[in-house]
Structure 1
């Protein structure tokens, strides 16, 4: 199929422009910021030295990088989720076909609170010690979600 030279140039310029701006889209985000400009409870984003970049990946790939074989629990259009059970800890690996699904999932999970290791189109949920141990292998950031559930009743001891 013959394309007009102008159409080809416009398409090439649009592709080049979007690729040039792509690194900046990962750095943009909303929400509250700490005094140093970072998100509250978030560690700096770094590439995983052991894995390179894990973005986006399948549950099985992320599980393999952490040294486990995931048992798939959810297989849906919006997400896939697997559980890893190791001697050190248990954790959930959730992957998403699009970034917007991940953000919706995190918004829903914020009602429960807790810490999550978050990457491009993937989230690992588990105990804080496990997330700290997995972060050098996977990269991403550790996000603290606020939680909106009832607080424990005070004791009178």
Structure 2
């Protein structure tokens, strides 16, 4: 191998980690369209963001959930509690959540929004659930 191609190969190998590190950060994803209101924060009492699983989220807020939708794009469960009924919706990918929120915006209201999950409930319940689940209360 002549010196010129060898230098080019070494330069490419040296840049590979940098390209991988910056390439995965992306800037053109659907997430960039979300306002800063959707930033997810850790639950103050739990110290972590709730997992995107309907049954786990329901357990964290003390409800026995009944699954009403189990599709490729989302799972939705209904909780009936003494404080009122509410919905927990989870998504296999963040982009499905963003599409769902966009469609739900025609109805307005407030939602507790986390990473790949949304809780639809009266505002008082959202405020009650936030310390356990994390996320952010978002006005649509």
> What TM-score do the two structures reach when normalised by structure 1?
0.68
Q: Identify the residue that residue 46 of structure 1 maps to in structure 2.
A: 41
Q: Judging changes above 3 Å, is the alpha-carbon distance between structure 1 residues 45 and 98 closer, same or farther for their aligned structure 2 residues?
A: closer
SS at match of 1:48: coil
Dislocated runs of 4+, deviation >3 Å: 5-9, 12-19, 27-31
Higher relative contact order (CA 8 A, sep 6+): 2
Corresponding residue number in structure 1 for 2:22: 17
Q: 2:52 aligns with which of 38, 51, 57?
A: 57
The structure with more radius of gyration: 2
Deviations 1:84-115 (A, max 9, x none): 11111211000001111101111111111111
Structure 1 portions without partners, runs of 5+: 32-37, 146-157
Report the counterpart of residue 119 of structure 2 in structure 1.
124
**2:131 maps to what in 1?**
136
Query: Hey, what's the Cα distance between the residues in 2 that align with 1:140 and 1:56?
Result: 11
Cα gap change, 1:18/1:52 in structure 2, threshold over 3 Å: closer, same or farther? farther
CA distance in 1, matches of 2:46, 2:123: 20
Structure number with higher helix proportion: 2
C-alpha separation between the residues in 1 aligned to 2:63 and 2:23?
37
Residues paired across the two proteins, number: 128
Query: Residue 80 of structure 1: which of 75, 95, 101 is its match?
Result: 75
